[in-house]
Homo-oligomer: A and B are copies of this chain.
Amino acid sequence: MIISGSSLIPLEEIAAASPQAWFQAYLPGEPDRIDALIDRVAAAGIGTLLLTVDTATLPNRENNVRAGFSTPLRPGLRLAWQGISHPRWTTGTFLRTIARHGIPHFENSYATRGAPIISSNVTRDFGKRDHLNWGHLERIRKRWSGKLVVKGIMHPDDAARAAVTGADGVIVSNHGGRQLDGTASPLQVLPEIAARVGDSIAVMVDGGIRRGTDIMKALALGACFVFVGRPFLYAAAVAGLPGVLRAADILRTELHSNMALLGVTRVTDISADYITRA
């Protein structure tokens, strides 16, 4: 599991409960803040640091504008009505969280606690993220002795540079298609990236994985691992932890069945030979 830099529980608590978890960081182009967060992550005993590089700035997400979503959330009539009209969530999740932790904050953005998730006048500090460059990655590599993964790579040249800079892996990703509209899909660019750096570092992928055959397609196109986001969030929203376990079980079962139908017995045997271009 990957702990998000946007999660509301301090990474130290999660790392204690799940020692294998990776930590995903949104880092600004500011050396002091970079160093402080790396030291914090290292102190928490995290083994793998994942740096997201496709969020240099926030785009114009029209679905968020339409839904009135922002970070922090702005209190208001609309938000109040959404709480009233979803009583199970309000009592079982929201009030329970307040009772336990108080108003949640973005705990893991930097070395110190971030903004609260609801506020009428606080601006979330996104830092000078748009100034993050390859020099910062070199700095991170020098300071961080664990495994280092770069997420948000969409071009073979960038993958090659990440490998040369010392990354142990890349995640081919367009951030779920929510950053730069009209961008290519990860599966489109995956084969060329895997061909370029797949022999030297781990090439992983996320985005659009919804079924067992999606996993197989990604593996066949050169990924060695696949990440899944929304299906688990949807499952959690519908049925909490049992929902997430069920979602994982559906994917696992589908992958096994589909491998049997394809006639392969090892995940590593899934190759481009099994893919036909439309």
Binding site for B on A (CB under 8 A): 54, 56-60, 130, 179-182, 184, 188, 211-213, 217, 250, 253-254, 256-258, 260-263, 276
A57 to B54, CA, bound (A): 40
Q: List 23 A-B contacts (CB under 8 A).
A: A54-B261, A56-B260, A56-B263, A57-B257, A57-B260, A57-B261, A58-B257, A59-B257, A59-B258, A59-B261, A60-B211, A60-B212, A60-B250, A60-B254, A60-B257, A130-B260, A179-B261, A180-B213, A180-B258, A181-B211, A182-B213, A182-B217, A188-B276
Centre residue among A60, A188, A213, A254 by max chain B CB count within 10 A: A60
Partner of A261, one of B56, B213, B256: B56
Q: How many copies does the complex hold?
A: 4
Q: Add 17 more A-B contacts to A60-B254, A181-B211, A181-B213 (CB < 8 A).
A: A54-B261, A56-B260, A56-B261, A57-B257, A57-B260, A57-B261, A58-B257, A59-B254, A59-B257, A59-B261, A60-B211, A60-B212, A60-B250, A179-B261, A180-B213, A184-B276, A188-B276
